[in-house]
C-alpha cells in the first residue's frame, strides 16, 4: 500500500468519524493537489437536508473554489467509501484524474461494485482508480454506524410497558 495514500485516507477517515458523530452516514473525502489538501467534505445530508450533500460533492465544491476553476487537474480524491453514481458523475465532470477509495459499496458503488463509471471509455474523462485503501477501518465504521442505527430504530418501535401504579398489599 502506498504510504501517501494511506496517510491521506486516514484524514478522510477522521472526517468520516466526524460525520458519524453528527448522525450522518460516515463517509469522508479530501482532495489533494501537489501535496496540499484543497477540498474536504463529510456527509451532511441530514444536517443540510440536501440529497446532494455527499462527502465527495462537498470536497469537489470546496476544491474548485480553492483553485478558482471547475477543472481539478492534477488532483487526487480520497474517499472512505466507493463513490455512488452521483458522486462518480461529479468526479468525471470535475476531471479529477485519480480516485482512491476505502470500502467497496455493493449497494451503490459506481466505480467497481455495480458500475465502472470512472473508467468507462464512452465518457469524456476517465480516472485512475485505487480501491481498498484502509478498506477494513472504513467498512468497520460503516458497520458500527448502521448497527447502532438499527438498534435505535428497534428500541423506538418496542413500546415500554407502563409503570406499575398499583400498590402491593
Which positions ≥6 away from 88 have C-beta within 8 Å?
A: 110, 111, 115, 117, 118
Residue in the structure block whose three cell numbers are 453514481: 85
Residue 15, C-alpha cell as written in the block:
472526517
Q: Are 76 and 95 in contact (CB under 8 A)?
A: no
Which residue in the list 4, 17, 56, 136 is annotated as catalytic? 56
Known catalytic residue at 46: no
DSSP per-residue letters across 43-95 = --HHHHT-TT--HHHHHHHHHHHHHTSS--TTEEEEEEE---HHHHHHHHHTT
**First-residue to last-residue Cα distance in the chain:** 71
Active site residues per annotation: 56
Amino acid at each position: 500500500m502506498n504510504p501517501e495514500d494511506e496517510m491521506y485516507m486516514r484524514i478522510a477517515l477522521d472526517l468520516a468519524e466526524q460525520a458519524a458523530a453528527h448522525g450522518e452516514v460516515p463517509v469522508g473525502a479530501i482532495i489533494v493537489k501537489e501535496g496540499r489538501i484543497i477540498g474536504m467534505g463529510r456527509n451532511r445530508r441530514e444536517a443540510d437536508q440536501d440529497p446532494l450533500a455527499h462527502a465527495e460533492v462537498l470536497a469537489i465544491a470546496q476544491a474548485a473554489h480553492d483553485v478558482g476553476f471547475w477543472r481539478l487537474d492534477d488532483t487526487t480524491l480520497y474517499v472512505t467509501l466507493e463513490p455512488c453514481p452521483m458522486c462518480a458523475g461529479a468526479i468525471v465532470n470535475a476531471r479529477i484524474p485519480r480516485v482512491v477509495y476505502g470500502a467497496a459499496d455493493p449497494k451503490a458503488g459506481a466505480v467497481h461494485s455495480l458500475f465502472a463509471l470512472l473508467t468507462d471509455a464512452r465518457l469524456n474523462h476517465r480516472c485512475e482508480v485505487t480501491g481498498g485503501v484502509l478498506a477494513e477501518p472504513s467498512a468497520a465504521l460503516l458497520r458500527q454506524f448502521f448497527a447502532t442505527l438499527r438498534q435505535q430504530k428497534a428500541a423506538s418501535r418496542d413500546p415500554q410497558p407502563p409503570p406499575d401504579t398499583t400498590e402491593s398489599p
